[in-house]
Amino acid sequence: MASTRTLWKNGPTVGAIGLGCMGMTWAYKSDELSESPARIIGHALDLGVNFIDTADVYGPFTNEEVVGQALGARRDEAVLATKGGLVSHIGDAGEPVISGPNGHPDHLRKAIDDSLRRLGVDYVDLYYLHRPDPKVPVEDSIGAMAEMVEAGKVRALGVSEFTVEQLDRAQSVHPISAVQSELSLWTRDHRATSLAWTERNGAAFVPFSPLGRGFLTGNFRGTAPAQDDFRAQLPRFKQENLDANLVIVDAIASVAEELGSTPAQVALAWVLAQGEHVVPIPGTRRSSRLEENAAAGSVTLTPAHIETLDALPEPAGGRY
């Protein structure tokens, strides 16, 4: 399996595995093995993991700042993506609270300028509408984003968690170069919908949480997340569902043992096997995990392995 991919038709060349930066400042509980974002992002570029993903809502706002500082003079080595159109604030207890989508053109025009300032860059390679706003026509949101391309602030447009109908409407206004949605061995909903749409339309499919927020690596075997970790609020991470979902972890571990790989590498290799236009963005705060993830681009699953993994049961518990 190739270790690089073309991000979208005639797009930039990126490592087959990207880097999602959300967890560096938001949602997941840190631990004593966590390393600084600057160290992780710098090492990622050294490894050829050059597709870097952030968003204004992460923090809120702090994630873009640390990503921009970490890239520094190496900005041109990265294919940099950020997102706008999802609003959050800090709650009474100091926790980030997502208020909901805002796809109004005026909001997006301000959002991109604020993102560029926080990142310390003149442009981003890819700008996503983070979620569709049911109160704003898709065409209006994408129209405002198309202005950003014309102004040189953005090189290409993407969307996140769009239906096929919404994708068609967005595409009618401006080419959509990437679609970001969840895809992993315990979230396979999008294979027949937006994943298929991206293949037909020469766009990239960018899976977030390709390791099931860490579950598919086996790290939560018998252990639920800490209560101040975002995952503790998700149905699949409730103890009874964690226990039920171990059958998925066990099957991945079995394939990994046969291949001499790790469960994380097998889970990522399965995602990569969904199409040459697929570039997953696992997150990490440890160099060892970064290296492990990057090496998944060289893992090749046999047809028998893919058949085994495709036959895994649906997980217990919803995504949210």
> Would you state the structure tokens that stand for residue 26, as one six-digit string?
């938001």
C-alpha triplet 271, 197, 88: angle, nearest 5°: 75
Pairing type for strands 19-20 and 51-53 reads: parallel
Distance between CA atoms of 18 and 280, rounded to whole angstroms? Answer: 6
**pTM beyond cutoff 0.95:** no
Going by their DSSP bridges, the two strands 124-129 and 154-160 should be labelled as parallel
- For every one of its 320 residues, what pLDDT tens digit does the chain have, with 9 covering 90 and above? 558 999 999 999 999 999 999 999 876 666 666 899 999 999 999 999 999 999 999 989 999 999 999 999 999 999 999 999 999 877 776 667 788 999 999 999 999 999 999 999 999 999 999 999 999 999 999 999 999 999 999 999 999 999 999 999 999 999 999 999 999 998 999 999 999 999 999 999 999 999 998 889 987 776 776 777 777 777 788 888 888 888 999 999 999 999 999 999 999 999 999 999 999 999 999 999 999 999 999 999 999 999 999 999 998 777 77
| Nearest CA-CA partner of 282 in 12, 23, 3 | 23
- Residues with a known catalytic role: 58
CATH code linked to domain 4-223+270-299:
3.20.20.100
What pLDDT is attached to residue 140? 98
Contact 145, 157 (CB under 8 A): yes
Please write down the HEC assignment for all residues of 133-157: CCCCCHHHHHHHHHHHHHCCCEEEE
Q: What confidence score (pLDDT) does residue 240 get? A: 84
Tell me, what's the pLDDT at 10?
95
What is the predicted pLDDT for the residue at 218?
85
Compute the CA torsion angle 288, 293, 298, 301 (nearest 10 deg): 130
